[in-house]
Structures are given as structure tokens and as C-alpha cells.
């Protein structure tokens, strides 16, 4: 026999899992998964779990797209955390933007959080948010900085400064029983930042001390080179402020605190008084001044009533609406419906922002209205450096990867295209492709003995649509009905019965709205009435209930309409019971309660069944 055939097979070590070789979790594994933030921009929520201990990184919302009519917020599905209520949960916030803190009130309604840890600026924003909802006493909030340490049963967490468009943004280091995880939060590298510099030394130290898994911001994965510095934008704004002769109106993101700070400082430096419009902008300026991030004296601000009494060249208006939001201050100014501001020829409007993908049409509409009113409009371009991003572009992502030197990598915070581009960037820096995990919300990674594997389990991580403050999921069902109504319309079936003798009194009447053009569809509706009538006669040949009658109407009509039109309208049965039957039913209830004999009641009219 050949020697090779008798050789004992060599034991193959446990390898990186593949889609066809996913591992089942063991008791001592550390689990990493996202309930939001993967395959989307917003709704960030990342969880690290070991036995009965869960550390949650951020709890954000996503703002709805145009097709989500009537929805205020999109939040993660918290059901997994609710089901594991016996496990201790700690929430750590990387910074104070809405896509990282906006979901906290909704999370606290469903899940018991042991404590929230956040940086100084984020704590102020969270306090205001919870105070508005009367939830401030519901959870402990602790302020942290780059020198803080958070210790739970199984985790030890540290922090490092990053540069972003809001003060006090932090990266997080989580030491677990199975290895070290680093999550960057939102970041960029700016060599001349406004505010705190990034902690390059601590990042490099982490890179030299064996990081198992890096989770890093992917938002600008498709942007090449380095992003421009905030100081460059600051100089451009100062130059425009100095040259502008009339009123200056500047629109930007309220959440971009450093930009708001630069706009206000430029206005004061050029001898202009500042007036703030937009609730979110007012909140940010109030908190920024309270914390010393925005150093502008009270005498430099104007009340709205004082605007018309000031010379045009001594006024700077800072407002929301840079994304063309219909109800924002700038949109109302452009439409001429703002209470205090009417555009006059010679006004200069500056967009210190770039349109978010999908908002381009809305922004263009506002720009056209501003031009029509005689304003001079300046937007971000290669000629005007009026905006820079707060997220790392490709070269900055490479720098983060080189500083941290992770063994395994998981791109986060981005649409799938962004995650894939970040994966390609990581491969360029030398991370093996098999050590990179491009996951979706609900996918689970296992840390086991400083190795990372794809798990065979998956966690429910659907979108929950919030209408007002409801997070029960009712809004999700309502939205589905709205979509069906928008796409297929409504059909109402009105049926008159006599429940005493279990008899249908006349043929059903079908009323349609938004389903078919009634004048051209009389034949279809008559056929539909016959289908329902036949089905009801068969059902009511024996004793039945109102619920069974409604189900019979739906089960007979819906397939018929789909076969004829290939559309599924909402079918609403309306049952009218004869007045004699209604009166006798009421009398039976009264007699039963009072133990009296039942009298016959005679009526001929009909009324709706209650």
C-alpha cells in the first residue's frame, strides 16, 4: 500500500469561518453584533455581550426617507435586549449627534439600562432630551473623558479623543475575556482642528498592544485623499463675512458645533450682531455657550424683534435648513412665510454644508427661490471652501488602520457600498481579506481566544417606525397599511343582515376608493358583489358569527380582485344588522342582567352593527 495513504491525517487548526462554515457560540465566547448602523447611515447601535453582561455603544435614530410617510424616526428593534432583561446593560455614547443619542428615550422605555456614560457635550444634549420627556430620573448618567475607565462584570472600557464636527467625541477600547475591541465612533484626522486634537499617541499605543477587532467609521469610504481642515473653512467664512455688504444669512447643520462656533466668531470679528433661528440651532448655541465651547458674549446676540432696527451690514442670521427641510427656517425665509425675515435684494445667503444624498432636489428648490427673491447665494464648491466633512475619507481610514493595527476588522456606520469600499481600503493596508467581516444588522461575530469568527446565529434587527413617541410597533403596521393604500387603494363591502334568522337581506354593495376608476369598472364591481353574495349565502346557511362573516368577505373578495387586476387593495367589511335584531339583542342583555322575561320588539329600519 502507498505510504501516503497510510499517513495519519494532520489535525487542522480552527480556521476563520466562512458563510458555509459558521460557528455555533459557546458559553465563554464574546458576542459582537449591531442592532443598527450597518447597511445604513444612522441608527447606530453596537453591542458587545459576554454571558450576563452587555455593553451597548451608542443608541441612535435614523431620519425617515421621503417614502416613509408620516414617520418621525426609524429606531432599532430592541426586542433582543428586552428578552434578555436579566442581563446587565451599560450604555456608552461616543458623541452627541442624533444618529448616536436620538434613540435613548425610546431605548429607556423598553430596556433597563444600568448607567449611561457619555462625554461632557453629549451629557448636556442627553439631559435636555430626557428632561423634555420627563425621563431624567429614570437612569444614571455619568460624564467621561479620555482618561476615564468604565468597569463592568466582564468588560473594562477606556477612551481616546477623536476629531469630529462636534466637541468631545471619543473612541472606545473594550477589553473583553476573549480579546481587545476598539471602536472609533465617528472620526476624521484634522492636523489643524478647531477644538481638541485626536489622540494619536494613545491610538499608536493601542496598535502596539494587540487589538483583536477594530470597528471603524465607513461613511466617507468612497472619498479619496484627505478631507480639508476645518480651519480652511473658517478662513473662507471669515473672508465672505468681511466682504459682504448687506445682511448675511448662513445655514448649516445645527449639530456641526465647531462650524456654528466659527460662523459666530467670524460675525463678531467683522462687527456684526448675531440672530439665531431654528429650535435645534438655539439649543446647540445655548449648550455651547454654557460649556464654553462657543465664547460669544450676550451683547453680540439680537432678538428677532431687533432685526429690522439694525443696519443691514451689521447683521448675521444663523439658521437651520441647509438640507432644504420644508419646515426649517431657511425654507420659510425662501418662501416668504417667515415671521421675522423678509428677503431683500442684496442679502447674501451662505450654505455652509453639502447636500446629503437624496436631498439635492430639495436644496435646489430652496436655492432657486432665494435667487428669485434677489438674494446672492453661495454654496460649497471648488471656488468656495464652505464645508468640510466630519468623517474620515480613504487616506484617513488608512491612517486609523495603520495606527490601531487590528488583527480583525469590521467596517461599521455606512451603507453596504461604503462598508465594501472600507473593506477594500483595509485590504490595501495589509489586513487579510478573510479577517474582514462585512456584516448586516443582526449578524453576530464571536470572539474566542483572541480570534474572531462568524456565528451561525442571527439576532432580530428590523427597523421600527416611530410615529410621535409610539415605539410599540403599531406605527410599523400603520405604515404598511398606508403603503398598501397608496399602491392599491381601498375596497369597502357593505352587507345588510338579520342576525336573528341568520340571513343576508340584500346583495352586498361595494365602494372603491383609489383602487379602480369606477365608471370603467362597473362590470368588475358587479362580479365582485356576486362573488361575495354567493360566499355569504353558503356561510350563513349554518350558524355563524360576525367575525366569520368578515373573514368570508375578505377570503372570497381578495383572491378575485387580485386575479382580475393583480392588485391587493385593503378590504374593509361593513356589516349592517337589522334594527329588530339589534333591539332584541340589547333587550336580551338587559333581561339577563335583571332576570326579566324577554318581550318582542318590532322595527323595520336598519342601523350599523356596533
Residues taking part in catalysis = 217, 391
Angle at 384 between CA 379 and CA 388, to 5 degrees: 80
Instruction: Please check if 147 is assigned to a binding site.
Output: no
Residues 164, 197: Cα–Cα separation, whole Å: 10
Residue written as grid cell 478647531:
194
Residues 181, 479: Cα–Cα separation, whole Å: 38
Instruction: Please check if 292 is assigned to a binding site.
Output: no
Residues 238, 442: Cα–Cα separation, whole Å: 46
Instruction: Please check if 593 is assigned to a binding site.
Output: no
Instruction: Please check if 313 is assigned to a binding site.
Output: no
Instruction: Please check if 520 is assigned to a binding site.
Output: no
**How would DSSP label each residue in 4-22?**
HHHSPPPPPPPPPP-TTSP
Instruction: Please check if 256 is assigned to a binding site.
Output: yes
Instruction: Please check if 254 is assigned to a binding site.
Output: yes
Residues 557, 548: Cα–Cα separation, whole Å: 14
First to last CA, the chain: 88
Instruction: Please check if 72 is assigned to a binding site.
Output: yes
Residue written as grid cell 447636500:
355
**Which of 225, 237, 170 is CA-nearest to residue 203?**
170
Instruction: Please check if 390 is assigned to a binding site.
Output: yes
Instruction: Please check if 6 is assigned to a binding site.
Output: no
Instruction: Please check if 443 is assigned to a binding site.
Output: no
Instruction: Please check if 413 is assigned to a binding site.
Output: yes
Instruction: Please check if 473 is assigned to a binding site.
Output: no
**Which of 441, 425, 444 is CA-nearest to residue 433?**
425
**Cell digits for 520?**
370603467
Instruction: From residue 136, give the alpha-carbon distance in Å to each of 81, 104, 127, 132, 597.
Output: 21, 11, 7, 9, 60
Residues 554, 547: Cα–Cα separation, whole Å: 11
User: Is-contact 463 61, C-beta < 8 A?
Assistant: no
User: Is-contact 223 259, C-beta < 8 A?
Assistant: no
Instruction: Please check if 99 is assigned to a binding site.
Output: yes
**How would DSSP label each residue in 500-564?**
TTTEE-S--EEEEESSS-GGG-HHHHHHHHHHHHHHHHHHTTS---HHHHHHHHHHHHHHHHHHH
DSSP state of 237: H
Helices (H), 196-294: 200-207, 230-243, 257-269, 279-291
Annotated binding-site members: 70, 72, 95, 97, 99-100, 164, 186, 254-256, 387-391, 413, 467
Q: Which residues are annotated as a binding site for Ca(2+)?
A: 70, 72, 467
Binding residues for substrate: 254-256, 387-391
Write out the binding residues for Zn(2+): 95, 97, 99-100, 164, 186, 413
Amino acid at each position: 500500500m502507498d505510504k501516503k495513504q497510510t499517513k495519519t491525517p494532520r489535525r487542522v487548526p480552527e480556521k476563520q469561518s466562512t458563510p458555509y462554515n459558521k460557528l455555533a457560540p459557546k458559553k465563554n465566547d464574546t458576542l459582537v453584533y449591531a442592532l443598527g448602523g450597518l447597511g445604513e447611515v444612522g441608527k447606530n447601535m453596537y453591542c458587545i455581550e459576554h454571558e450576563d453582561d452587555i455593553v451597548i455603544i451608542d443608541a441612535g435614530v435614523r431620519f425617515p426617507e421621503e417614502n416613509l410617510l408620516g414617520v418621525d424616526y426609524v429606531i432599532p428593534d430592541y426586542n433582543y435586549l428586552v428578552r434578555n432583561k436579566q442581563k446587565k446593560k451599560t450604555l456608552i455614547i461616543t458623541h452627541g449627534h442624533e444618529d448616536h443619542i436620538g434613540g435613548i428615550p425610546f431605548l429607556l422605555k423598553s430596556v433597563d439600562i444600568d448607567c449611561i456614560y457619555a462625554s461632557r457635550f453629549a451629557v448636556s444634549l442627553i439631559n435636555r432630551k430626557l428632561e423634555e420627556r420627563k425621563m431624567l430620573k429614570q437612569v444614571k448618567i455619568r460624564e467621561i473623558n479620555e482618561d476615564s475607565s468604565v468597569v463592568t462584570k466582564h468588560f473594562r472600557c477606556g477612551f481616546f479623543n477623536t476629531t469630529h464636527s462636534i466637541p468631545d467625541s471619543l473612541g472606545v477600547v473594550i477589553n473583553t475575556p476573549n480579546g481587545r475591541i476598539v471602536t472609533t465612533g465617528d472620526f476624521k484626522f484634522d492636523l489643524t482642528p478647531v477644538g481638541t486634537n485626536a489622540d494619536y499617541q494613545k491610538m499608536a499605543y493601542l496598535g502596539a498592544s494587540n487589538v483583536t477587532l477594530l470597528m471603524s467609521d465607513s461613511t466617507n469610504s468612497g472619498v479619496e485623499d484627505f478631507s480639508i481642515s476645518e480651519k480652511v473653512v473658517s478662513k473662507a467664512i471669515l473672508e465672505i463675512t468681511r466682504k459682504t455688504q448687506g445682511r448675511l444669512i448662513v445655514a448649516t447643520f445645527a449639530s456641526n458645533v465647531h462650524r456654528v462656533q466659527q460662523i459666530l466668531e467670524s460675525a463678531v470679528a467683522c462687527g456684526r450682531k448675531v440672530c439665531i433661528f431654528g429650535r435645534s440651532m438655539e439649543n446647540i448655541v445655548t449648550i455651547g455657550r454654557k460649556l464654553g465651547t462657543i465664547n460669544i458674549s450676550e451683547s453680540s446676540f439680537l432678538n428677532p424683534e431687533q432685526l429690522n432696527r439694525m443696519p443691514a451690514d451689521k447683521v448675521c442670521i444663523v439658521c437651520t435648513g441647509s438640507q432644504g427641510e420644508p419646515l426649517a427656517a431657511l425654507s420659510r425665509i425662501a418662501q416668504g412665510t417667515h415671521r421675522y425675515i423678509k428677503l431683500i435684494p442684496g442679502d447674501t445667503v451662505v450654505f455652509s454644508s453639502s447636500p446629503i444624498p437624496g436631498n439635492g432636489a430639495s436644496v435646489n428648490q430652496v436655492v432657486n427661490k432665494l435667487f428669485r427673491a434677489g438674494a446672492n447665494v453661495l454654496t460649497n464648491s471648488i471656488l468656495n471652501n464652505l464645508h468640510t466633512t466630519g468623517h474620515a475619507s480613504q487616506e484617513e481610514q488608512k491612517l486609523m488602520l495603520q495606527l490601531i493595527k487590528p488583527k480583525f476588522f469590521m467596517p461599521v456606520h455606512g451603507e453596504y457600498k461604503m462598508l465594501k469600499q472600507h473593506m477594500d481600503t483595509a485590504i490595501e493596508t495589509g489586513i487579510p481579506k478573510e479577517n474582514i467581516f462585512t456584516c448586516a444588522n443582526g449578524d453576530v461575530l464571536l470572539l474566542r481566544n483572541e480570534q474572531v469568527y462568524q456565528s451561525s446565529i442571527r439576532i432580530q434587527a428590523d427597523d421600527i417606525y416611530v410615529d410621535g413617541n409610539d415605539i410599540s410597533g403599531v406605527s410599523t403596521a400603520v405604515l404598511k397599511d398606508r403603503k398598501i393604500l397608496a399602491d392599491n387603494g381601498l375596497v369597502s363591502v357593505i352587507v345588510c343582515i338579520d342576525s336573528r334568522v341568520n340571513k343576508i337581506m340584500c346583495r352586498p354593495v361595494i365602494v372603491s376608493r383609489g383602487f379602480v376608476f369606477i365608471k370603467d369598472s362597473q362590470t368588475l364591481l358587479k362580479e365582485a358583489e356576486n362573488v361575495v353574495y354567493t360566499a355569504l349565502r353558503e356561510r350563513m346557511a349554518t350558524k355563524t358569527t360576525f367575525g366569520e362573516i368578515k373573514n368570508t368577505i375578505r377570503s372570497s373578495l381578495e383572491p378575485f380582485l387580485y386575479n382580475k387586476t393583480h392588485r391587493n387593495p385593503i378590504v374593509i367589511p361593513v356589516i349592517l344588522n337589522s334594527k329588530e335584531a339589534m333591539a332584541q339583542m340589547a333587550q336580551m342583555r338587559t333581561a339577563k342582567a335583571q332576570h326579566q322575561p324577554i318581550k318582542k320588539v318590532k322595527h323595520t329600519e336598519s342601523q350599523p352593527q356596533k
